[in-house]
Copies of this chain bind each other. A is one copy, B any other.
Amino acid sequence: MSTEQDVVDAARRARTASHALALATRATKDAALRAMADALVEAAPQVLAANADDVRRAEEAGTGAHMIDRLRLDEARIEGMAQGLRDVAGLPDPVGDVVRGSTLANGLEMRQVRVPFGVIGMIYEARPNVTADAAGICLKSGNAVLLRGSSSAKSSNTAIVEVLRAAVSSAGLPADGVQLVPGDSHDSVKHLMRARGLVDVLIPRGGAGLIRSVVEESTVPVIETGTGNCHVYVDAGADFEKALAIVMNSKTHRTSVCNSAESLLVHSAIADEFLPTVIEALQEAGVEIHGDERFGEYDGITPVDDDAYAAEFLSMEISAKVVADIDEAIAHIREFSTQHTDAIVTEDQSAARRFVAEVDSAAVLVNASTRFTDGGEFGFGAEIGISTQKLHARGPMGLQEMTSTKYVVTGDGHIR
């Protein structure tokens, strides 16, 4: 059991640590990241033993094979975590970046400079590799982090954090920059969400239910991540070959991720020609199609309803609709999209231009798979999640999005 006081105490230690982290040079932070990577590889036997405990408990609890796969670590996954930390060490330091600057009319020198947030709270589910990723990204961006993984991964996370803390400390930075939130009851999450003033920002990563509850209950500012009801709209002006490749890749390349497509819209002018091809390809790949009446003219289509249009299936299912024109496509996306990623396939410049202007999503794609909305693909080098809110950060978040700014104004006795 964790009391509110335990969580507040941890947050206070994090805040104190954040002062040193904010001032740490890039060289020191990179040395710490490399030490963290080496320590993880060296401690692989202990981490794997702790992970085996979690897996055994999950199996005893009858957890599904898919969840257990997410939970399970092996040598390769640990090496992957270590490589992730080394990659972050290789990225530029966002802290101190001058975002803008000028000399004002009165001679005051004004600069807007990137600074760390201070203390970041991460609430996430299942996969223990997020523990190392988040610790690395937060440390590089000069922030202390309070990690609240799922209780199913508690032994793994405890072992990983212990290793990382020792490495951080060995590099001359405060170990309390990386902490697990004490306790594993839901109460500890609650206390974290109320630690306004001690925690600067909360980032929930996980299912829609987790994210909704954090958004509703938190008094700490939240960056909402990732539910993705992503659309592919095949316009009248589409090249069918590209369209088919993009639909199939967006839906079937990896179904369990937030940037996979969940909904297919087809312009009525090409429906006769395109529907048979796309339906056959989807069904051959094992995708269940929840289709409207027009799709229903073909075999094997499940009737669609608004719930299916709104669903984030995260599986081999897709909702599908024939739209009269691009207006109806945009209206449908406005109604059902989670504003994560929506794509148009078209060779028609003015259709592409309209879609890009009128679809208000974190990423709007033209003639490309929805799977490209990703920090790695965007070249950020590291990603802590994909923001689906409009405040602060929108879309894939890398190191830069883990910072705030401050204005530094220098004068020589200036008064108004």
A219 cross-chain contacts in B, Cβ below 8 A = 215-216
In the complex, per-residue mask of A395-416: 1 if CB is within 8 Å of any chain B CB, else 0? 1100000001111111111111
Q: Let me know if A271 is at the binding interface, CB within 8 A.
A: no
Provide the residues of chain B in CB contact with A392, threshold 8 Å.
391-392
The reply to whether A378 and B19 contact each other, CB–CB distance below 8 Å, is: no
Contacting residue for A411 out of B363, B366, B409, CB 8 A = B366
State whether the Cβ of A394 lies closer than 8 Å to any Cβ in chain B.
Answer: yes
Task: Choose, from A36-44, A69-77, A352-360, the stretch at the interface.
Answer: A352-360
Contact B201 A368 (CB under 8 A): no
A245 to B368, CA, bound (A): 60
Contact B221 A110 (CB under 8 A): no
- Chain B nearest CB, measured from A380 CB (Å): 11
Complex interface residues of chain A between 334 and 382 (CB less than 8 A to chain B): 334, 352, 356-358, 360-369, 371-373, 377-379
With known contacts A22-B360, A360-B115, A367–B412 Cβ distance under 8 A: yes
User: Are B249 and A372 in touch, CB under 8 angstroms?
Assistant: no
**Known interface pairs A117-B390, A242-B412, A371-B415. Does A407 touch B357 (Cβ–Cβ under 8 Å)?**
no
Chain B residues closer than 8 Å to A409, beta-carbon distance: 363-366, 368, 372-373
- Pairwise interchain contact A367-B414, C-beta atoms closer than 8 A: yes
The answer to whether A110 touches B406, judged by C-beta atoms less than 8 angstroms apart, is no
Contacts of A404 in B (CB 8 A): 390-391, 394
Which residue of chain B has its CB nearest to the CB of A354? B23
- In Å, the complex CA distance between A162 and B52 comes to 68
Consensus secondary structure, chain A interface: mixed
Cβ A390 vs Cβ B108 within 8 A: no
Give A236-251 interface residues, CB cut-off 8 Å to B: 239, 241-242, 245-246, 248-250
Residues of B within 8 A of A408 (CB): 356, 363-366
A368: B residues at CB distance < 8 A: 108, 409-411, 413-415
Contact, CB under 8 Å: A391 / B201: yes
Decide: B411 and A365 in contact? CB cutoff 8 A: yes
A361 touches B406 (CB 8 A): yes
Closest to A374 in B: B416
Q: A104-B379, A379-B102 are in contact. Are A416 and B249 (CB under 8 A)?
A: yes
A186 close to chain B: CB less than 8 A: no
A222 proximity list for chain B (CB < 8 A): 221
Whether A223 sits at the interface, judged by CB under 8 Å, is yes
**Distance between A29 CB and nearest chain B CB, rounded to angstroms:** 15
Complex CA gap A363/B409 in Å reads: 7
Give the residues in chain B near A196, CB-CB below 8 Å. 215
Q: Are B406 and A362 in contact (CB under 8 A)?
A: yes
Residue of B nearest to A19 (CB): B358
Q: Are A104 and B373 in contact (CB under 8 A)?
A: no
A371 to B416, CA, bound (A): 7
CB distance from A207 to the nearest CB of B (A): 18
Q: Which residues of B contact A241 (CB under 8 A)?
A: 413
Contact call B253/A357, Cβ cutoff below 8 A: no
Contacting A415 at CB < 8 Å: which of B249, B394, B407? B249
Chain B residues near A369 (CB, 8 Å)?
Answer: 414-416
Cβ-defined contact, A118 with B239, below 8 A = no
User: How many angstroms between the C-alpha atoms of A125 and B327 in the bound complex?
Assistant: 41
Ordered by A's residue number, 15 sampled pairs between the chains whose C-beta atoms are within 8 Å are A22-B357, A110-B378, A115-B360, A223-B391, A249-B415, A366-B408, A366-B410, A367-B411, A371-B415, A372-B409, A372-B416, A373-B409, A391-B392, A391-B404, A394-B407
A residues at B contact (CB < 8 Å): 19, 22-23, 102, 104-105, 108, 110, 112, 115, 117-118, 196, 200-201, 215-216, 219, 221-223, 239, 241-242, 245-246, 248-250, 253, 334, 352, 356-358, 360-369, 371-373, 377-379, 389-392, 394-396, 404-416
Sample of 4 further A-B pairs with CB below 8 A, known A360-B406, A368-B414: A241-B413, A362-B406, A368-B410, A392-B392
